[in-house]
Amino acid sequence: MPGDFAIGIHDLSVATTQYVLTHDTLAAHNGTDAAKYHRGIGQRSMSVAAADEDIVTMAATAAAPLVARHGGDRIRTIVFATETSVDQAKAAGIHVHSLLGLPSATRVVELKQACYGGTAGLQFAVGLVHRDPSQQVLVIASDVSKYELDSPGEATQGAAAVAMLVGAEPALVRIEDPSGMFTADIMDFWRPNYRTTALVDGHESISAYLQAVEGVWKDYAERDGRTLDEFSAFCYHQPFTKMAHKAHRHLLRHCGYDADEGEIARAVGRTTAYNAEVGNSYTASMYLGLAALLDHADDLTGQTVGFLSYGSGSVAEFFAGTVVPGYRAHLRSAAHRDAIGRRQDIDYAKYREIHEYSFPADGKDHPVPRETTGPYRLAGLSGHKRIYEPR
């Protein structure tokens, strides 16, 4: 039977794409001031997937270092969270399972609830480990965000994957009870099956997010969670990085605190470094914020981090995690910086070509040109089947 042991994030790894479009380039195309993006929404560039990259290749790239370090024998479950799935039936994690050569005695499932899905995966993983502490769960959040060209949402696009190994006695972050939760039926952001790009009501989405901030904190406080001043930092879902500042300002005011800009920057500033360069990665976004915090902060040993996960539509959750002593020896800071720094700058014409491309739906053979320099690639489609391979 389960005993008294900590459960949480044992290891964490980040991956993104081959290409990057800077917001300077986007602003030049739009004829607008780049400050609209840099200061207005806090974005400097966006990751753009090459033709042979997608949520599967990013996920496998993020997860491979975890398997290389820890082995795969204890991984009994893969939870793949995404809102940009490549198939309506088959879980994308099965492709990752194959690419990584994990044991057949594994359950694999895909979760969807907008940008909240990664947190659902993490919490499900905590429950599985609590039931059987000998097992580990591979939680992957991977998305490519895409909006219509020249739409208000275009500047917030991005792509990334975060893979987390969840287990007993974690080396990075111990996940705590309780959670505060909130759900409301709101059409602030959605993507019908017949569309490749999402629809969003920007003002409604911000309002829904802030409503969820109040809702999750109310539930968290009623369940005897920590007080606000017990947290040293906060990781928020970041559809754009300034949203983290806006959300924390709202939480402070809601709780009767002075919304001092210096305090807001102290609480969330270190979580935005990667998102500002990568753009919105949907399910991966909040965990990309955690990676940035762990990689950029001074010593966080023993300090408590607040996590506020929001997914449009809408579902949200707030929970706490405490950073484990010795965590810095397990970080992948250099690899994360390299993943972002190695991206190839593209011009607007190349970006537009990528954005407008879609696979023919005729079921014939459609090989994909070799573009990525990452370890895994989408080789093509044949008979409506996606074919993945090591590069």
First vs last Cα of the chain: how many Å apart?
A: 44
Residue of 25, 27, 21 lying closest to 40 (CA atoms):
27
**Of these residues, 10, 95, 97, 237, which one is catalytic?**
237
Q: In what order do the strands lie in the sheet with 45-48?
A: 45-48, 19-22, 344-345
| Catalytic position from the list 83, 110, 176, 277 | 83
**Which DSSP state fits 4?**
S
How far, in whole angstroms, is CA 383 from its chain's centroid?
31
Numbers of helices and strands, H then E, in the chain: 12, 18
Q: What are phi and psi of 48, to 5 degrees?
A: -130, 125
Q: What is the CA radius of gyration of the chain?
A: 20
The CA distance from 291 to 232, in Å, is 15
* Letter string b/e over residues 50-83, b meaning 16 or more CB atoms within 10 A of that residue's CB: bbbbbbbbbbbbbbbbbbeebebeebbbbbbbbb
Task: Please choose, from the candidates 70, 346, 310, 54, the residue with its C-alpha nearest in 3D space to the C-alpha of residue 181.
Answer: 310
- CA-wise closest residue to 322 among 99, 169, 125: 169
Task: Provide the 8-state DSSP code for 214.
Answer: H
**Cα 296 → chain centroid:** 18
Q: Which of 10, 115, 154, 277 is catalytic?
A: 115
- Gap between the Cα atoms of 357 and 369, Å rounded: 13
Cβ neighbour number for residue 361 with a 10 Å cutoff: 8
Residues 6 or more apart whose CB falls under 8 angstroms from that of 119 comprise 286, 307, 309, 317, 319
237 part of the active site: yes
CA 17 to chain centroid, in Å, comes to 14
Instruction: Report the C-alpha gap between 136 and 125 in whole angstroms.
Output: 8
Neighbours of 383 (CB within 10 A): 8
Q: Which residues carry out catalysis?
A: 83, 115, 237
